[in-house]
Structure 1
């Protein structure tokens, strides 16, 4: 049985967290394809972890809308919600404003040093674009900012929205042959947090979400024009 390979190289302490990390990575990268059906036993074997932590991880993934657990039928990997991507970014826009504002004021020196190291990684990605390396940096950015915000409730929803956005990006990575623009925005955001510049961090977060929303809208319109997806005329009001 093929085992999961670590995409984001995350550290996980508990067995449940290890199961969550492995399964989330498989979903984000499409190794567990959208719409596919699995049994909990098969997934447990796939990640080489016990059934109890796998079950607990699946419950968290269900909360994050990455899987749908159907009793007596199995585990279904959620389809990518294309119209919903705009709503995901709109929700993230508001939560991220809170996250970076609080992180700018509350981050420890150790956390700020972690952000400085992340800035170096993002600088390197500008010269040598690599989507998987970018996803690693994206996950680490989410973790660092979430922890530094000292708001576990906001950080949990922020992480969920980031995961959904990360999967969308991975499935359309051919559009990102050049990572310079997005890396520069992340660098501005992180540097502002490191410097304790609340307004600068909030402005950079807004610019990042503007960029992401424009990217999602362009893809969505292309898919509508090609009849790959349909959207109700009033869906933006709901």
Structure 2
């Protein structure tokens, strides 16, 4: 595993109020299990490369084995875990060079999601997007990465739902999770959230206003920013030998 700047360590449980880094609304047990496990993976509570049993993971999040197993299947599809029969669950390593491909794929899908969300969002959804924009505005004053992680998850869910395209929304959510994890693990290289918050705010307000062209343009700018950041981080890691590039062009 690359010698990345790992996030600070915390004990996480699915109950007890302050255990999880950010709260998420979830109706069913499987959705709750997914939200808890995804959060722990993104923020390093389940470290890259670590091995777990299904029972241990169920105990960690305080939920049953069935919803935990179903959540793990979704996480495996999203490439966040690898399930090995009779061996357990392995938390995936961060794919460093693949991060650029993640952003490139997200760029195209996000254009579709933004355009459709601007067209199809309900009045209630537009109000919710404006509220998220306001929370991002408030976040600029203290640059709390954990709060940003919560808002990033909420923004992805809200825009995906508003797009009325469940297929695009599903792939969009997967790519957003992978990008969010990469950013969290390198937060010490990115302590000022003002610029990224402004990019999100412009995007959210464009969708809320029903301006599809402006929403797509804002998405382009945000992905340009993310791609440049990922390139800078990758190059720094290569220079410091924290990662190496294989002949096939893959960072390891």
Greater shift after overlay, 135-144 or 2-11?
2-11
Quote how far apart the aligned CAs of 1:48 are.
1.1
CA distance in 2, matches of 1:234, 1:198: 39
Quote how far apart the aligned CAs of 1:154 are.
0.4
Q: Which residue is 1:106 aligned to?
A: 120
Q: Does 1:156 align with 2:170?
A: yes
Quote how far apart the aligned CAs of 1:122 are.
0.7
Correspondent of 2:75 among 61, 64, 67:
61
Quote how far apart the aligned CAs of 1:219 are.
0.5
Deviation string 1:129-174 (CA, Å, 9 cap, x unpaired) is 1111111111111011000000000000100001111111110111
Q: Which residue is 1:24 aligned to?
A: 38
Quote how far apart the aligned CAs of 1:176 are.
2.2
* Deviation >6 Å, runs of 4+: none
Normalised by the length of structure 2, the TM-score is: 0.91
CA distance in 2, matches of 1:177, 1:223: 18
CA distance in 2, matches of 1:21, 1:70: 22
Correspondent of 1:72 among 53, 67, 86:
86
Quote how far apart the aligned CAs of 1:2 are.
5.8
CA distance in 2, matches of 1:210, 1:9: 29
The answer to whether the 8 Å contact 1:28/1:163 transfers is yes
Root-mean-square deviation (CA, aligned residues, Å) is: 1.4
Structure 2: segments with no counterpart, 5+ residues: 1-10
Matches within 5 A, 1:11-160: 11-160=25-174
Normalised by the length of structure 1, the TM-score is: 0.96
CA distance in 2, matches of 1:46, 1:208: 35
Deviation string 1:81-139 (CA, Å, 9 cap, x unpaired) is 00000000000000000000000000000000001111110111111211111111111
The answer to whether the 8 Å contact 1:8/1:139 transfers is no
CA distance in 2, matches of 1:67, 1:2: 18
The number of aligned residues is 236
Correspondent of 1:171 among 154, 162, 185:
185
Deviation string 1:14-49 (CA, Å, 9 cap, x unpaired) is 111111111111111101000000000111111111
Deviation string 1:170-222 (CA, Å, 9 cap, x unpaired) is 10111222111111111110111011111100000000000000000001001
CA distance in 1, matches of 2:247, 2:126: 45
SS of match in other structure, 1:127: coil
SS of match in other structure, 1:196: coil
Instruction: Compare the two structures and name the one with the higher helix fraction.
Output: 1
CA distance in 1, matches of 2:240, 2:172: 32
CA distance in 1, matches of 2:22, 2:107: 23
Quote how far apart the aligned CAs of 1:233 are.
5.7
CA distance in 2, matches of 1:2, 1:23: 10
